[in-house]
């Protein structure tokens, strides 16, 4: 389908009339809460932030496609049924600027429409990734008419003044062209999906950040660098001075908490200041793109970050991206962005998750390297951080058949358990009744506390299951849900759980019973009672590494 801009006014007019008509229906006819029937949105529940879809909280058990897979509906066709069989409810797929606007002002949404159609046919939702001005710092997905017109759409320059295949974020033409295309996409989504809500959220750009220098050296960038720090950022810093990220606060404090001045006057000389400049300017650019898109169709929108490897300096990693130490700059510069999300491929999954999860930043994992640990990571973020969802990268390349790809098999088994438990997890999020555990090499045991109980979780050694030594890293994980004062669900794999009492009058905790079972349409169907060898005669609860189980335990206190 080809859409040309001048048709917009007619469709816009029709949309407005429909909107007014609907509003009248709501007021006069009592059609119910408009928001319940509106676009997906984010809503607080206790300390959690949930994605609400068609009036209900939604847990994304997802996967992100490899970069090129969504550019051919044919290529994707055989994968949809596999996604269904893997218990995947959401696919993250790129929306490519170059294919959507191959000629300036002429929009072609046939790929997007095909993707939505195929996802719907298989009962799967989508998160679209706007591959606009930047994809992993580079501008490889901007249309040819943008790439070729470097005078109109100028590039970022490195420290030697050499242009890169990267649009500069300091230029208005670049921003307007991106905004225009993104607005057209969002308008189109509203038209074709405003009722069915197959598309749940939008990622704006992909892993922005400056590399291989910490800042852009083009003329407009240097001019900005030599100018005063914008008042909006200064005001934010002053208003949030007490709770600022420690790294940002420290460099500001070093200069005496100045309330005005150039970037170097306020933050001092150094790569860190180059990076703060970039973070602010990327954030402002992304803010305008996001706000323009939301004006057309207000889906939740987020940005994703390429993370820093240990010891890397700004410029060695995509500098100025939405990273934890720059979160305040991004929050100040891009208030329309709902949250910043980590793409976790290296380092500690547990540490990165904690750094991105803040009261003002719910956790969503749009990309995670797919490994034998992925199943444990899914349990961990969903249980421990009330995550909106978890999505390993290149999901279409995963083979869920056990014999070929045990990591794929493990992920699918986790998604199966999480699908069964999703209604309970969503009901409990943000209320202190959930925990997630996953083993890391440095942490072979962990504890969680619920009311008058402490649970000590250790992770089964793998020796007996590993076929080769490299696979012997422990990788158990699970989710724990408190159902009542003494009753819990533990689901996962490779866990041994013991129970301690915090009740001073009855200082010992015992197991009344453990049942394995499954949830069918939210109803518990108990299987075997596990009070003998399977629980070491009541000494502990065990979810063997070789299996994935849901067990329900009832505890009691004694003396």
Residues that bind ligand DGJ (CB under 6 A): 67, 136, 206-207, 343, 367, 393
**From the CB of 4, what's the least distance to ligand DGJ, in Å?**
31
Nearer to ligand DGJ, 205 or 296 (CB): 205
Nearer to ligand DGJ, 64 or 216 (CB): 64
The two three-digit tokens of residue 205, written as one number:
């750009």
**From the CB of 557, what's the least distance to ligand DGJ, in Å?**
49
**From the CB of 64, what's the least distance to ligand DGJ, in Å?**
7
**From the CB of 537, what's the least distance to ligand DGJ, in Å?**
47
The two three-digit tokens of residue 231, written as one number:
């008042």
Nearer to ligand DGJ, 172 or 309 (CB): 309
**From the CB of 370, what's the least distance to ligand DGJ, in Å?**
10
Question: Which backbone phi and psi does 357 adopt, to 5 degrees?
Answer: -90, 110
CB–CB of 299/202 below 8 Å? yes
Nearer to ligand DGJ, 90 or 420 (CB): 90
Task: Tell me the HSE value of 181 on the side-chain side, using a 13 A CA sphere.
Answer: 30
Nearer to ligand DGJ, 340 or 481 (CB): 340
- Using CB positions, name the residue nearest to ligand DGJ: 207
| Helix (H) or strand (E) segment spanning residue 176 | helix 172-193
Nearer to ligand DGJ, 209 or 474 (CB): 209
Alpha-carbon span 345 to 524, nearest angstrom: 36
Q: Is 549 helix (H, G, I), strand (E, B) or coil?
A: strand
CB–CB of 481/428 below 8 Å? yes
Nearer to ligand DGJ, 169 or 277 (CB): 169
Nearer to ligand DGJ, 67 or 375 (CB): 67
Nearer to ligand DGJ, 369 or 538 (CB): 369
Q: What residue has token string 């600027």?
A: 97
**From the CB of 393, what's the least distance to ligand DGJ, in Å?**
6
DSSP class of residue 324 equals G
> Helix/strand/coil (H, E, C) string of 386-436?
CCCEEEEECHHHCCCCCCCCHHHHHHHHHHHHHHHHHHHHHHHCCCCCEEE
| Helix (H) or strand (E) segment spanning residue 343 | strand 339-344
DSSP-H helix ranges across 227-270 = 231-239, 246-254, 263-267
Contacts of 375 by beta carbon, 8 Å cutoff, 6+ apart: 407, 410, 411, 413, 414, 475, 477, 493, 548
Instruction: Give the 3-state secondary structure percentages of the chain, helix then strand then coil, rounded to 5.
Output: 35, 30, 35
**From the CB of 136, what's the least distance to ligand DGJ, in Å?**
5
CB–CB of 57/45 below 8 Å? yes
Please, is 302 exposed, middle or buried when counting C-beta atoms within 10 Å of its C-beta (0-12, 13-18, 19+)? buried
Nearer to ligand DGJ, 305 or 497 (CB): 305
**From the CB of 344, what's the least distance to ligand DGJ, in Å?**
10
**From the CB of 134, what's the least distance to ligand DGJ, in Å?**
10
**From the CB of 67, what's the least distance to ligand DGJ, in Å?**
5
Nearer to ligand DGJ, 134 or 450 (CB): 134
Residues for the chain: how many in total? 559
Contacts of 188 by beta carbon, 8 Å cutoff, 6+ apart: 3, 107, 109, 112
For residue 296, which of 12, 3, 10 has the smallest C-alpha distance?
Answer: 12
**From the CB of 216, what's the least distance to ligand DGJ, in Å?**
20
């Amino acid at each position: 389908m080809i859409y040309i801009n001048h048709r917009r006014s007619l469709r816009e007019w029709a949309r407005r009339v429909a909107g007014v008509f609907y509003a009248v229906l709501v007021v006069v006819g009592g059609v119910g809460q408009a928001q319940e029937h509106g676009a997906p949105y984010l809503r607080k529940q206790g300390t959690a932030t949930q994605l609400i879809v068609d009036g209900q909280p939604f847990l994304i058990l997802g996967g992100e496609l490899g970069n090129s897979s969504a550019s051919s509906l044919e290529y994707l066709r055989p994968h949809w049924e596999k996604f269904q069989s893997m218990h995947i409810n959401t696919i993250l797929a790129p929306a490519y600027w170059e294919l959507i606007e191959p000629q300036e002002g002429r929009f072609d949404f046939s790929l997007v429409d095909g993707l939505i159609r195929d996802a719907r046919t298989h009962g799967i939702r989508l998160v679209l990734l706007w591959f606009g001005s930047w994809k992993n710092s580079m501008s490889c997905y901007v249309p040819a008419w943008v790439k070729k017109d470097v005078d109109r759409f100028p590039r970022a320059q490195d420290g030697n003044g050499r242009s890169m295949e990267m649009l500069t974020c300091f230029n208005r033409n670049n921003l307007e062209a991106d905004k225009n295309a993104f607005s057209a996409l969002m308008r189109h989504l509203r038209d074709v999906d405003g009722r069915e809500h197959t598309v749940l959220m939008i990622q704006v750009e992909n892993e922005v950040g400056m590399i291989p220098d910490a800042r852009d050296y083009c003329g407009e960038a240097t001019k900005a660098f030599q100018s005063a720090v914008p008042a909006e950022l200064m005001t934010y810093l002053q208003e949030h001075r007490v709770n600022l990220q420690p790294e940002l606060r420290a460099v500001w404090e070093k200069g005496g908490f100045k309330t005005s001045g150039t970037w170097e006057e306020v933050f001092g000389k150094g790569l860190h200041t180059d990076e703060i400049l970039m973070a602010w300017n990327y954030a402002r650019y992304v803010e305008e793109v996001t706000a323009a898109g939301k004006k057309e169709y207000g889906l939740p929108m987020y940005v994703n970050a390429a993370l820093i490897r240990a010891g890397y300096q700004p410029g060695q990693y995509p500098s100025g991206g939405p990273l934890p130490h720059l979160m305040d700059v991004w929050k100040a510069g891009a208030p329309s962005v709902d949250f910043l999300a980590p793409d976790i491929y290296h380092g500690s999954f547990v540490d990165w998750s904690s750094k991105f999860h803040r009261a003002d930043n719910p956790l969503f994992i749009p990309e995670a390297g797919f490994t034998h640990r992925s199943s444990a990571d899914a349990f961990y973020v969903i249980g421990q951080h009330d995550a909106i969802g978890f999505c390993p990268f290149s999901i279409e390349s995963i083979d869920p058949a056990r014999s070929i790809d045990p990591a794929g098999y493990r992920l699918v088994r986790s998604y199966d358990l999480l699908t069964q438990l999703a209604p309970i997890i969503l009901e409990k999020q943000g209320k202190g009744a959930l925990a997630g555990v996953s083993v890391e090499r440095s942490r072979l045991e962990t504890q969680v506390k619920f009311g008058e109980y402490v649970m000590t979780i250790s992770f089964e050694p793998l020796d007996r299951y590993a076929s080769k030594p490299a696979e012997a890293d422990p990788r158990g994980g699970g989710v724990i849900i408190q159902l009542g004062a003494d009753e819990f669900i533990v689901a996962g794999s490779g866990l041994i759980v013991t129970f301690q009492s915090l009740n001073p009058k009855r200082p010992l905790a015992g197991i009344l019973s453990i049942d394995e079972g499954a949830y069918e349409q939210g109803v518990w169907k108990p299987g075997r009672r596990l009070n003998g060898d399977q629980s070491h005669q009541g000494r502990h609860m065990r979810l063997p590494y070789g299996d994935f189980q849901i067990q329900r335990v009832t505890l009691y206190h004694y003396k």
